[in-house]
Amino acid sequence: MDNINSSLSGDKVLVVDDEEDILVITRLMLELHGAEVITSLTAVEALEQVRMRTPDIIISDISMPHMDGYQFIQAVRNLPAHKGKDTPALALTAFSRSEDRERALNAGFQAHLSKPVSLQVLIETVAYITNLPTHSALWERPISSPSQAPSGSLP
């Protein structure tokens, strides 16, 4: 785990979930591995955070009131490049069917993880996505098979 610890050092991570307990737990897990974490309880608030602080990666729930995770990531993808359009994103959701995963990837997420997720899988996936060489082409070619991501990181 030591190499994982340093792999998130300094990464700005935006976590979006309408359940405060999930936000707290996810924030703590990421901060333990060196990430700087910003949290939002709503997708509307998160979109404003992206515009103001362009994170290195977004981790978003799907099922949220007013604006769901699909609408949120599509709104991010419609932003200008300098305002966060190309920010890599991970769907972290209770929606775990293959159709849900496909819908998340098609909406603009680079990876999809089902809740509950192990600490190791979450950290490895975030580290993998944030360390890819170019983010601009990343969201056009989502991670769609386990061979493209860290072992065990995708359902």
138 vs 44, residue with greater confidence: 44
Are 50 and 84 spatial neighbours (Cβ–Cβ below 8 Å)? yes
Q: Per-residue pLDDT for 6 more than 70?
A: no
How far is the C-alpha of 53 from the C-alpha of 153, rounded, in Å?
A: 27
- Average pLDDT across the chain, whole number: 86
| Residue count (the chain) | 155
Give whole-number Cα distances, 90 to 2, 75, 109, 130, in Å. Answer: 23, 15, 6, 10
State the Cα–Cα distance between residues 105 and 91, nearest whole angstrom: 8
* Mean pLDDT score, 35-47: 98
CA distances from 67 to 53, 62, 64, 71, 95 (A): 20, 9, 6, 6, 16
**Stated pTM of the model:** 0.84
pLDDT in tens, 87-113: 999 999 999 999 999 999 999 999 999
pLDDT value of position 132: 72
pLDDT band at 7 (very low <50, low <70, confident <90, very high): confident
Report the percentage of the chain scoring pLDDT > 70.
Answer: 81
Domains, the chain, in order of start with CATH, read 2-141 (3.40.50.2300)
